[in-house]
Chain A
Amino acid sequence: MNPQPEWLQTRSTADDRGASYLSIQDVNKTYRTRNGDVHAVEHADFDIDEGDFVSLVGPSGCGKSTLMSMIGGLETPTGGRILVGGAPITAPRRDFGYVFQDPTLLPWKSVLDNVLFPIRTQKRVVADYLAEAERLLRLTGLWDFRDKRPAELSGGMRQRVAICRGLINDPRLLMMDEPFSALDAITRDDMNLALAKLWDEVHKTAIFITHSIREAVFLSDRVLVMTARPSRIVADIRIPFARPRIDTMQDEALFSEICAYIRDEIHQAHDKHVSR
Chain B
Amino acid sequence: MKLIHRLLGIEAQDIDGLSRQILMPVGFALAVLLLWEGVTHVFSIKEVLLPAPSAIWSRLQESLPVLLQHAWPTAWESVAGFLIASVLGIGLAALLSASHTMRSMLYPNVVLFQLIPKIALAPLFIVWLGIGFESRLAFSVFISFFPIVVATLAGLDNVDKSLLRLCRALTASNWQVFASVRLPHALPYVFSGMKIATTFAIIGVIVGEFITSQAGLGYLILFASSQADTALILATITVLCVFGLVFYGLVALAERWTRTRFGA
Contact = CB atoms under 8 A, between A and B. Distances in A.
Contact of A72 (B160, B169, B181, B262): B169
Given A120-B180, A121-B180, A106 B167 contact: no
Interface residues of B, number: 20
Given A102-B162, A107-B264, A91 B171 contact: yes
B166 interface: yes
A104 B160 contact: yes
Contacts of A243: none
B264 A121 contact: no
A87 to B, nearest CB: 16
A92 interface: yes
Interface string A188-221: 0000000000000000000000000000000000
Contacts of B180: 106, 117, 120-121
Interface residues of A, number: 20
Contacts of A122: 170-171
Interface string A81-109: 00000000001101010101110101110
B168 A106 contact: no
A102 B169 CA distance: 14
Nearest to A105: B163
B165 interface: yes
Contacts of B162: 100-102, 104
B180 to A, nearest CB: 7
B263 interface: yes
A106 B170 contact: no
A108 B185 CA distance: 8
B184 interface: yes
A108 B264 contact: yes
Interface string A104-134: 1011100000000110111000000000000
Nearest to A102: B162
A106 B163 contact: yes
Interface of B: 160, 162-163, 165-172, 176, 180-181, 184-185, 259, 262-264
A94 B181 CA distance: 19
Given A106-B184, A108-B263, A108-B264, A92 B163 contact: no
B72 to A, nearest CB: 38
B163 A104 contact: yes
A82 to B, nearest CB: 15
Contacts of A98: 166, 169-170
A94 B160 contact: no
A121 B170 contact: yes
A100 B124 CA distance: 55
Contacts of B185: 108
Given A100-B165, A100-B166, A108 B171 contact: no
A264 to B, nearest CB: 34
Contacts of A120: 180
Which 8 residue pairs across A and B have the least CB separation, nearest first?
A: A108-B264, A108-B263, A98-B169, A121-B172, A104-B162, A121-B170, A104-B166, A92-B169
A108 B188 CA distance: 11
A158 B167 CA distance: 18
A106 B169 contact: no
A92 B171 contact: yes
B214 to A, nearest CB: 48
Contact of B181 (A73, A92, A106): A106
12 contacts: A91-B171, A94-B170, A94-B171, A96-B169, A106-B180, A108-B184, A108-B259, A108-B262, A120-B180, A121-B176, A121-B180, A122-B171
A92 B262 contact: no
Contacts of A96: 169
Contact of B169 (A74, A101, A107, A108): A74
Contacts of A118: 170
Contacts of B160: 102, 104
B107 to A, nearest CB: 27
A24 to B, nearest CB: 18
B179 to A, nearest CB: 10
